[in-house]
Structure 1
Amino acid sequence: MPAYSLALSLLVTAPLLAPGHLLLRDAVSTPRSYLSDAALGLSGAAPRALPQDFAIAVASHILDGGVVVKALLIAGLWLAAWGAARLAAVVVPDAGLPGQFVAATLAVWNPYVAERLLQGHWSLLVGYGCLPWVAAAMLRLRSGDGTSGPTPVWPVLFWTALAGLTPTGLLLAGIVALVCVAAPGAGRGRWMCAAVSLGASTLGALPWLVASVGAGSLSSSQAVGIHEFAARAEPGLGTLGSLAGLGGMWNSQAIPDSRTTLFAVIATLTLLAVVALGLPTVLRMPQAVPLLVLSAVAVALPALAATGPGLAALQATVQAVPGLGVLRDTQKWVALAVPGYAVAAAAAVVTLRPRIPAAATGLVYCLALIAVLPDLAWGVGGKVTTVRYPAGWSTVAAMINADPRPVAVLPPDSMRKFTWAGDAPVLDPLPRWVSADVLTTGDLLIGGQRVPGEGNRARDIEALVLSGAGADELARAGVGWVVVETSGASTASKAPGPDLDLPVAYADDDLTLYRVGGDHPDSQLRGILIAAHLGWLAALVIGGVGTVLALRRRRVAS
């Protein structure tokens, strides 16, 4: 099963095996990253990329950052397939290998994976890949693993911490773990299991909890984007049907071509038929019921949130409780449906076994799931691939890193369209390539609507630069460098910005670097944030070592 799961993962991500870096919408990888203020959550923006930026910064001191990101993405899909098979083995053992193959295929070959790949949510897909492992680990805690001693808690700690590479991944894993606490069993008690889940989630959340409170990045401004981030109905399907088929993402530009026509109806009906055929069998299995209930809720709530009253309620909630902007992209929570879908799909083999051999059913189901989403293969039809940075980027990064003072960047806005990076907009890679603080507003332009970010200081500096301020005025404002990305128009404007009367340190066809010389005091919270990230890393390492040792003991005992 690990080999089949890896084959599925590589079939999807094969273009990423080529040299180069992943640079697509929200996915940004650079040769090297640093423990800058932004990487530690001290930039004033919402800590959406913690602790992933910390992890990449540390790992890129050993391997090229592009290799690290691509490896983690491939591993995330591999874990999703393999974990779904393991979960099926725990919940529906009678399904055997055919059922496990179906579960593995469904976990990878679905619209959710395709859309999140196109949006560049590689770290979310790592968390997604951990969900079936979290479910299987918690169900084993509840039922016992058949050994003479108590079932170890280390797997729950490890998989929760790994899913916590991004805040959304951690929340998804924590929800799955708590839901599985409701399963019956003669192993660890429910209160004990709930405490393990909450403890693991708290350790995993330390980086962004500390950043949110200590660095003052909690904000209610994300309520502005509630309507733009709502789930979207696909052709021939209402919003509920799209979500039930694991599709319906808000960004219509990050959708596989096969989901933009009425073929989406056939694909959705095929996926739901595989799941529905397993329900008569899996509903008789008490361990599966919590996951099935979670699947229904994970589809229904985002659908309700896309209605008028749902949008109003969500907007009021995000405005009232700063920090809940993570809820606005409601379709991403449909990931919670996948563990339940996977065990139901595996159980379909058992349902049809009296009439059709299990191996034949498994083969047909796997082929059907792949056939109705053919363009997921090869990087979602070649759209998820690598790029090569122009040579000037390395030069500019090296110059800034030699004197890491705060950097202002033009053109305005966070998204770019580089002539050398394809047609899709991408996040500016400069903040992840330098050790200096890069001043970014975090503003997004979605469907003509500006969704403001939390970078208020960056917004003031940006206005100052655009006004044509001189070097002395910018230096007094704390600007050390100004970078104009001449080959990248922002998504809001065609031109990178005005001509600046500043000392030029470097210029080519892609970039112009101006030396200003200002500086800004370092944050006093760096030590605290590093300690919080080390807490997450300790949970990951200790959980991983404990899981390996527990597995070895089980094998020796058997």
Structure 2
Amino acid sequence: MTAPLFAPGYLLLRDAVSTPRSYQSDAALGLSEAAPRALPQDFFVALASSVIDGGVVVKVLLTAGLWLAGWGAARLAATVLPAAGLAGQFVAATLAVWNPYVAERLLQGHWSLLLGYGCLPWVAVAMLGLRASMSWGALGALVFWIALAGLTPTGLVLAATVALVCVAVAGQGLSRFWCAAVGLGAAVVAALPWLVAAAVARSLSSSQDPAVGAFAARAEPGLGTLFSLAGLGGIWNSDAVPGSRTTLFAVVATAVLVGVVVLGLPAAVRRPAAVPLLVLAGVAVVVPALMATGPGLVVTEAVIHTLPGLGIVRDGQKWVALAMPGYAVAGAGAVLALRRIPAAATAAVCCAALLAVLPDLAWGVGGKVSAVQYPPGWARVAAMVNADPRPVAVLPVDSMRRFDWAGEAPVLDPLPRWVRADVLSTGDLQIGSRTVYGEGRRARDVQELLLRGVDQNLLADAGVGWVVVESNGSTERLALPVAYTDEDVTLYRVGGSAPAAEGRTIVLIAHLAWLAMLVAGAGVALHHRFRRR
């Protein structure tokens, strides 16, 4: 699935952006006009890329997320449904890794979301362990997996939800109250980076258009929205869908995946530890389907206007990730459904069927998820800006770019993650014929100045130090002093400056609290494991 990424180069596909080096810029710490959607991810990648090439960091984390999803699903099946044995674990692992949700999020470039997705079965295993018997190892593991999933706000919400659902399981270990307290406490600490950044930068605004309809779950051919979601598909972006899901073959694929789950459901539902996960799976399918209806869109939009921090809920299909732990357990139960057939044979048929109905997930979703090389000029421009990190304005004005050297799919502008300076970005997103406006009001004002062709002094007065035109072969030039140019990118020196954002210290402390929890949780879990051995 990830082999093409391990060629030399960088992951650059839609929302996925990796660069040789990232920095602790104001934007990386969430101190910009935009809502802090990628914290503490940007902080962590900037920290890691100071030691290891940033492209390698992203590739490793993405691959680890998928590996953890399969391994964790097998561990969860062994914990909840031990009678299924190794055969059931194979089905659980295959179902968790080889499904439309993974394919579509790979194509959308949501590598950090997939890392959080991979943590979900581990969160369930850790919480179930705490409910079974008080263990410092399980406690440390729970804290670690919640922190790791918290690399993005969405991953954190997913992990906290799974943890709290598993509290409902009966057990003789840590009480429900204390299990819930530990789960919520870990989630709050993991949320500090984006909570503090949003408060300091005042970046959450109820005046923004939530564009809920543009991000609602989408029905696939031959399937309604509900059945598309039940088959773990239905992402809002029809371009980020594997080819096999764009025809009526999607009906067959959904029938196979749901069929494996339904086959094992009777065996799974008899295990009390599985029931909360199965209920969560049902809710994770039904609620996003309701959110995509007319009344659902109205309610969701009203909620986001009232509480702007809940803007992350608008992409309804991503919450289907919560179905994965329950689906994995039910899939493992499929090997117990046909008692006259050996479990190994049932597992082989189930795994082969799951693979066969989504053949284009192999080899980077048919080669679409692969490594690309930046043109040499990009590194030169980044080095010049980093030597004098003044605010940067960028043309063209769209947040998404199409580069001949990066493939057919659009990509987010890589420049903000490659330079120390503040890169002015509107965050505007074009979805079909509709423009979803972002929070970058200052960037929008500066770009209007650029498009009107104003002189250098006016741009400098507006706080612009550099202008970068990502030309992709264009020869059009601005009436500004040229610092560097080639066929791919042009850098203009303007000379303006702007004061650094306030609150960096307190936001850095919040990020370090998350990092400390991540390291401490891993340390406690590993120490207990080695002591037990």
Q: TM-score, normalised by structure 1?
A: 0.94
- Report if aligned partners of 2:210, 2:304 keep a CA contact under 8 Å in 1: no
1:98–1:464 distance in 2 versus 1, CA, 3 Å: same
Q: Is residue 153 of structure 1 aligned with residue 142 of structure 2?
A: no
Note the alpha carbon deviations across 1:527-555, whole angstroms, 9 max, x for none: 11111110110010000111101112332
Q: Secondary structure at the match of 1:318?
A: helix
> Residue 150 of structure 1 contacts residue 188 of structure 1 at CA under 8 Å; is this kept in 2?
no
Contact 1:18 1:386 in 2 (8 A): yes
Structure 1 residues 289 and 502 mapped into 2: Cα distance closer, same or farther (>3 Å)?
same
Aligned partner letter, 2:155:
G
Seq. identity, %: 69
Residues 221, 454 of structure 1: 8 Å contact kept:
no
Q: Which amino acid aligns with 1:410?
A: L
Q: Distance in 1 between matches of 2:351 and 2:209?
A: 40
- Matched AA of 1:516: V
| From 429, 444, 449, the counterpart of 1:464 | 449
Q: Which of 378, 398, 407 lines up with 2:363 in the alignment? A: 378
* Counterpart secondary structure, 2:33: coil
1:240 matched to 2:218? The reply is: no
Match of 2:374 in 1: 389
Kindly indicate whether the alpha-carbon contact (under 8 Å) linking 2:385 and 2:421 is maintained by their aligned counterparts in 1.
yes
CA–CA distance in structure 1, aligned partners of residues 526 and 45 of structure 2:
24
CA shift, 1:219, in A, is 2.2
Shift of 1:409: 0.2
Number of positions where the alignment pairs a residue of Structure 1 with one of Structure 2:
533
The answer to whether residue 265 in structure 2 is matched with residue 282 in structure 1 is: no
Q: Counterpart of 1:484?
A: 469
What is the identity, as a one-letter code, of the residue corresponding to 1:319? Answer: H
CA shift, 1:422, in A, is 0.6
Moved more, 321-330 or 498-507: 498-507
Report the 3-state secondary structure (helix = DSSP H, G, I; strand = E; otherwise coil) of the residue aligned with 1:323. Answer: helix
Following TM superposition, by how much is the alpha carbon of 1:344 offset from its aligned partner in structure 2, in angstroms? 0.4
For the residues of structure 2 that align with 1:174 and 1:364, how far apart are their CA atoms? 34
Deviation per residue, 1:177-198 (Å, 9 max, x gap): 0011111111110000000000
Aligned to 1:55: 44
* SS of equivalent to 1:39: coil
AA partner of residue 178 (structure 1): L
Q: Is 1:141–2:119 an aligned residue pair?
A: no
Aligned residue runs from structure 1 range 284-323, under 5 A? 284-323=270-309
List gaps (5 residues or longer) in structure 1: 1-11, 489-494
Task: Say whether residues 1:31 and 2:20 are aligned partners.
Answer: yes
| Aligned equivalents of 1:231, 1:113: Cα separation in 2 | 15
CA contact under 8 A between 1:140 and 1:151: conserved in structure 2?
no
Which residue number in structure 2 is paired with residue 106 of structure 1? 95
Match of 1:264 among 250, 258, 261: 250
Give the conservation status (yes or no) of the 8 Å contact 1:86–1:136.
yes
2:121 and 2:136 map into 1 onto residues whose CA distance is 21
How many angstroms does 1:459 deviate by?
1.0
Tell me, in whole angstroms, the C-alpha distance in 1 between the residues paired with 2:110 and 2:486.
31
Aligned residue number for residue 346 of structure 2: 361
Counterpart of 2:375, as a letter, is P
Corresponding residue for residue 41 of structure 1: 30
Q: Which residue of 2 aligns with 1:522?
A: 500
Structure 1 match to 2:78: 89
Deviation at 1:257, TM superposition (A): 0.2
Deviations 1:264-308 (A, max 9, x none): 000000001100011111111111110000000000000001101
Residues in 2 aligned to 1:456 and 1:153: alpha-carbon distance in whole angstroms: 44
The correspondence for 1:539, drawn from 498, 517, 530, is 517
Counterpart pick for 2:427 among 436, 442, 448: 442
SS in 1 for 2:104: helix
Q: CA deviation at 1:464?
A: 1.4
2:170, 2:252 → 1: CA distance?
A: 37
**Aligned equivalents of 2:174, 2:101: Cα separation in 1:** 33
Give, in whole Å, the separation in 1 of the partners of 2:232 and 2:165. 20
Determine if the alignment matches structure 1 residue 273 to structure 2 residue 259: yes
Give distance in 1, aligned partners of 2:526 and 2:471: 50
Work out whether residues 221 and 452 of structure 1, in 8 Å CA contact, stay in contact via their aligned partners in 2: no
The reply to whether residue 501 of structure 1 matches residue 487 of structure 2 is no
For the residue of structure 2 that corresponds to 1:420, the secondary structure is helix
2:117 counterpart of 1:125: no
Shift of 1:350: 1.6
> How far apart, CA to CA, are the structure 2 residues paired with 1:203 and 1:545?
17
Amino acid of the structure 2 residue aligned with 1:517: G
**Bigger mean CA deviation after superposition, 332-341 or 278-287:** 278-287
SS in structure 1 opposite 2:337?
A: helix
User: Paired residue for 1:474?
Assistant: 459
Could you tell me how far apart the structure 2 residues matched to 1:150 and 1:534 are?
23
Cα separation, 2, equivalents of 1:110 and 1:229 = 21
TM-fit CA distance, 1:167: 0.6
How much does 1:450 deviate? 0.5
Whether the aligned pair in 1 keeps the contact of 2:136 and 2:528 (CA below 8 Å) is: no
Cα displacement (A) at 1:78: 0.2
| One-letter amino acid of the structure 1 residue matched with residue 517 of structure 2 | A
Cα distance between partner residues in 1 of 2:408 and 2:111: 19
Query: What per-residue deviation string (whole Å, max 9, x for no partner) do you get for residues 117-173 of structure 1?
Result: 00000000000000000011001111127xxx6664111100000001111000000
Deviation at 1:322, TM superposition (A): 1.2
User: For 1:461 and 1:273, how far apart are their aligned partners in 2?
Assistant: 55
The offset of 1:224, in angstroms, is: 3.6
1:213 pairs with one of 199, 221, 224: 199
Cα distance in 1 for partners of 2:398, 2:30 equals: 19
* Rounded Cα–Cα distance in structure 1 between residues aligned with 2:137 and 2:483: 61
**2: distance between equivalents of 1:95 and 1:220?**
50
The residue number in structure 2 matching 1:184 is 170
d(CA) in 1 for partners of 2:254, 2:323: 14
For structure 2, the residue ranges without an aligned partner over 5 or more in a row are none
* 1:222 Cα deviation after fit: 5.1
Aligned residue type for 2:3: A
Residue type at the aligned position of 2:303:
T
Q: TM-score, normalised by structure 2?
A: 0.98
Hey, what's the Cα distance between the residues in 1 that align with 2:207 and 2:63?
34
Corresponding residue SS for 2:238: coil
Is the contact made by 2:209 and 2:437 (CA closer than 8 Å) also made in structure 1?
no
In the TM superposition, what whole-angstrom CA distance separates every residue of 1:318-362 from its partner, at most 9, and x where no partner exists? 11111211010000000000000000000111222x211011111
CA distance in 2, matches of 1:408, 1:547: 46
